[in-house]
Structure 1
Amino acid sequence: MPFTGISKITMSENLKWKLLSSSYIHKGPWATLRTDKCEMPDGRIVDEYYVLEYPNWVNGVAFTNEGKVLMVRQYRHAAGIVSLEIPGGVIDGDEKPEDAMRRELLEETGYQFDKIELLSTVYANPSTANNKTFCYLATGGVKVQEQALDEHEEVVVEQYTIEEVKQLLADNKIAQALHCTGLFYALSKLNKL
């Protein structure tokens, strides 16, 4: 079928819903739930579409000066698992994503990094949540302090080679999807897939 002249961007714009109203069900420091009333492009009305509002996040594939990948292991209560992850966390207020990444790396691992490069910006679940995650590659890490964890954090820092990380991914030992995504982008950038 020949191309009709309508651009893909125009077609995508035609898929957007019009927001008619919003009301909040719950507002909390880590998650907020609202319901939106929307109009679809064909005029149908969606009376209650539930949206979770979260702060934006950062995560980083962090390499020490010795070329080891820093990973963190911690308990994740909602899933009831001890999870092996890359360092990361919530962006505070109007903090810039790169500054949040440097802060999170320092707090969780005690390492400071020469270079931090944005690899990708992804959404955890854009059908129900509005936040995004900025995935970084951090290199030249040097330990400069002990961890500075939040009150309810218990984080164990571990170091792995690239080959070990690839095996952990192959063996499904890294359960956090956004962290697998960050690792994919980092390994791709480094030509290590």
Structure 2
Amino acid sequence: MSNHTPTPWTVIGSRTVVSDRWIHLRADDCRDDRGHEIAPYYVLEPADWISVLAITTDGDAVIVEEYRHGAGVVALGTIGGAVEEGESALAAARRELREETGYAAGELIDLGATWANFGNHSNRVHHFLATGCVPTGERSLDDSEAIAVHLMPLEAAGPQLEQSYHLLTWYLARDVLARRGRA
């Protein structure tokens, strides 16, 4: 067993591999503190993401179902999306809730942020709980989105969430709701 204390690598070179509206990928040439070269090391640089577990005034979870091309599956999930440039995570959560579901929240609670995948992503996922949600109007989906909205009991929702950070949002939200005596 090694007791070598990890330290950040030194980046000795970096180049953009691809950059468009969907992805920004860079390749770093790195050196660790023992002189080992790690090159290329690929890093995805997406915008920060939000994940919102929405709860209606009746206590049901608002869950979305959509096709996820990376895995090639249609899956249930929390409301989510990218934080746009110049937008706060809170504003993105409010916007994505309205756009994807047509609902608005009575209260939006910041549950904290986690790294999306700190092995090779530079972004964070901002988790939110939206309570007192009510339908307020039309959804505004992107051209590439086909989203079905489902209402289900909160406890039934969690076991159906297969994306890791969606499930984490559910756990964090349950803790807040339990402290408030609502779970």
- Could you tell me the TM-score, scaled by structure 2's length? 0.90
For each residue in 1:62-98, what CA deviation from the matched residue of structure 2 results, as whole angstroms up to 9, or x when unmatched?
1111111100001112211111001110111111000
C-alpha separation between the residues in 2 aligned to 1:163 and 1:26? Answer: 41
Tell me the CA shift for residue 190 of structure 1: 2.0
Find the counterpart in structure 1 of residue 109 from structure 2: 117
Among candidates 176, 181, 186, match of residue 163 of structure 2: 176
Q: How many residues end up aligned between the 2 structures?
A: 177
- Does residue 65 of the first structure (1) align with residue 40 of the second (2)? no
Any conservation in 2 of the 1:69–1:161 contact (CA below 8 Å)? Answer: yes
* Paired AA for residue 117 in structure 2: N
Question: Structure 2: any 5+ residue segments left out of the alignment?
Answer: none
> For structure 1, which segment, 157-166 or 53-62, has the greater mean C-alpha deviation from structure 2 after superposition?
157-166
Find the counterpart in structure 2 of residue 130 from structure 1: 122
| Structure 1 stretches of 4+ moved >4 Å | none
C-alpha separation between the residues in 2 aligned to 1:30 and 1:130? Answer: 15
Find the counterpart in structure 2 of residue 4 from structure 1: none
3-state SS of 2:91 partner: helix
* Paired AA for residue 24 in structure 1: T
Q: RMSD in angstroms over aligned alpha carbons?
A: 1.8
Find the counterpart in structure 1 of residue 145 from structure 2: 153
Among candidates 8, 12, 25, match of residue 17 of structure 2: 25
C-alpha separation between the residues in 1 aligned to 2:12 and 2:108? Answer: 40
* Paired AA for residue 100 in structure 1: A
For each residue in 1:128-178, what CA deviation from the matched residue of structure 2 results, as whole angstroms up to 9, or x when unmatched?
111111000111111111211011111111011123224xx1xxx321111
